[in-house]
Structure 1
């Protein structure tokens, strides 16, 4: 499935703000509430905090947005030589899980990915 929006950024925490700003803009376009938008912005920041330490230096972080009415799924992927997943009992994972409808960690083919889905609370 092709993403609606795909963004590639250098593996550097300085670019996380660009990703958060893009997330806010796309969520607003889907008519998410201000609270939903803020939760999603924070979740993207936490997801980046989880994957960036394992990323291969000098590579790109890829973020894919899959959008439909009232829902957005975001996959953040980095090249990584580690087979270890970030700890699911860690603070970042707990925050990410609390802020999103669904979250998942995966590794394979030399990548580490966090996928999260957020459903809008409009009309909920």
Structure 2
């Protein structure tokens, strides 16, 4: 799906994600985790890429789901993102930490000139 970079569309992506995850057989708790992770990734694409659109790709496989959020906007140095201090949390900057906490596998590729790809996988029946 190609989506305009508008925060109002995140709810549509959450609903789509929920429907797909439900059809695959994820439990309600896992579906909620996946929806939060997808929301965070989409919000990052909208707020930080400075692109007017981004893509959401769903890959369904036998024991799980991979969701990839792709933007062609302003990327960043992935290694420069600090692990947040949970003792003194800030108002923002927790998105990637939340995504990594909720999903089983997360791969982030970003380039200042070519945008960012966040690939998140959740497996059926796997506890984090």
TM-score band (shorter)?
0.7 to 0.9
How far, CA to CA, are the matches of 1:40 and 1:88 in structure 2? Answer: 23
Aligned residues: 115
How far, CA to CA, are the matches of 2:41 and 2:109 in structure 1? Answer: 12
Higher strand residue share: 1
> Residue 91 in 1 paired to residue 94 in 2?
yes
What is the TM-score of this pair, normalised by structure 2? 0.80
Query: CA 1:83 to 1:39, structure 2 compared with 1: closer, same or farther past 3 Å?
Result: closer
How far, CA to CA, are the matches of 1:34 and 1:63 in structure 2? Answer: 21
**Structure 1 unaligned runs (5+)?**
1-6
How far, CA to CA, are the matches of 2:75 and 2:125 in structure 1? Answer: 36
**C-alpha root-mean-square deviation of aligned residues, in Å?**
1.9
Larger CA deviation: 86-95 vs 36-45: 86-95
- On the 8 A contact 1:11/1:55 being kept in 2, the answer is no
> Residue 65 in 1 paired to residue 68 in 2?
no
> 1:116 offset after TM fit, Å?
0.3
- On the 8 A contact 1:80/1:111 being kept in 2, the answer is yes
**Structure 2 unaligned runs (5+)?**
84-92
